[in-house]
Amino acid sequence: MEKYYCTTAIDYVNGAPHIGHAYEKILTDVINRHYSQRADIAFMLTGTDEHGIKIQKTSASNGMTPKELCDTNAQKFKDAWKALGIDYTRFIRTTDENHERVVQKIFKKLVEKGDIYKHSYTGLYCSGCECFLNEKDLTEDGLCPDHMKKPELVEEENYFFKLTKYKDAIIKHIKTNPDFIVPSFRANEVINQLEDIQDISVSRAKSNVSWGIDVLDDPEQVIYVWIDALSNYITAIGYDVDSQTDEFKKLWPVDVHVIGKDILKFHSIYWIAILMALELPLPKHIFAHGWITIDETKMSKSLGNVVSPTSVLESFNLEYPDAFRYYMASAAPCGKDGNYSDDDFKEKVNAHLANSMGNLLNRTLSMLVKYFDGEIKSEFKKVSPLYDKSLETVKAVKHHFDYFEIQEAAQKIMELVDAANKYVTDSAPWTLAKEGKMEECGTVLNTVLEVMCVISSLIYPYCPNIARLMSDQLSYDINTKLDNITCNNIKPGKLISKDEIKPVFLRVDSEFADKGKK
Residues near 288 by beta carbon (within 8 Å), at least 6 away in sequence: 181, 182, 183, 186, 259, 260, 261, 264, 335
Domain range annotation of the chain: 342-500
pTM for this one? 0.92
Which of the residues 34, 51, 99, 126 is marked catalytic? 126
Q: What is the pLDDT of residue 510?
A: 41
Which of the residues 6, 144, 463, 487 is marked catalytic? 144
Which of the residues 301, 336, 395, 434 is marked catalytic? 301
Residues near 514 by beta carbon (within 8 Å), at least 6 away in sequence: none
The total of other beta-carbon atoms located within 10 Å of residue 388's CB is 11
Which of the residues 18, 25, 51, 389 is marked catalytic? 18
Tell me if residue 518 is catalytic: no
Paired residues of 44 in beta bridges: 6
Tell me if residue 249 is catalytic: no
3-8 and 41-49 beta bridge pairing: parallel
Tell me if residue 129 is catalytic: yes
**Domain 342-500 annotated CATH 1.10.260.40:** no
Q: What is the pLDDT of residue 515?
A: 41
3-state SS class at 482: helix
Which of the residues 70, 129, 453, 463 is marked catalytic? 129
Cβ atoms of 82 and 88 closer than 8 Å: no
Cβ atoms of 88 and 44 closer than 8 Å: yes
Tell me if residue 6 is catalytic: no
Amino acid at the residue 513: A
Q: What is the pLDDT of residue 308?
A: 87
- H-run or E-run covering 168: helix 167-176
Closest to 197 measured CA to CA, from 232, 168, 238: 168
Paired residues of 260 in beta bridges: 289
Tell me if residue 434 is catalytic: no
Burial 305-327 (b: 16+ CB within 10 A, else e): bbbbbbebbebbebebbbbbbbb
Which of the residues 298, 336, 381, 395 is marked catalytic? 298
**148 phi-psi bin (left φ>0, alpha ψ -120 to 50, beta other):** left
Kindly give the parts of the chain with pLDDT less than 70. 130, 299-305, 510-518
Closest to 361 measured CA to CA, from 478, 457, 491, 502: 502
Tell me if residue 147 is catalytic: yes
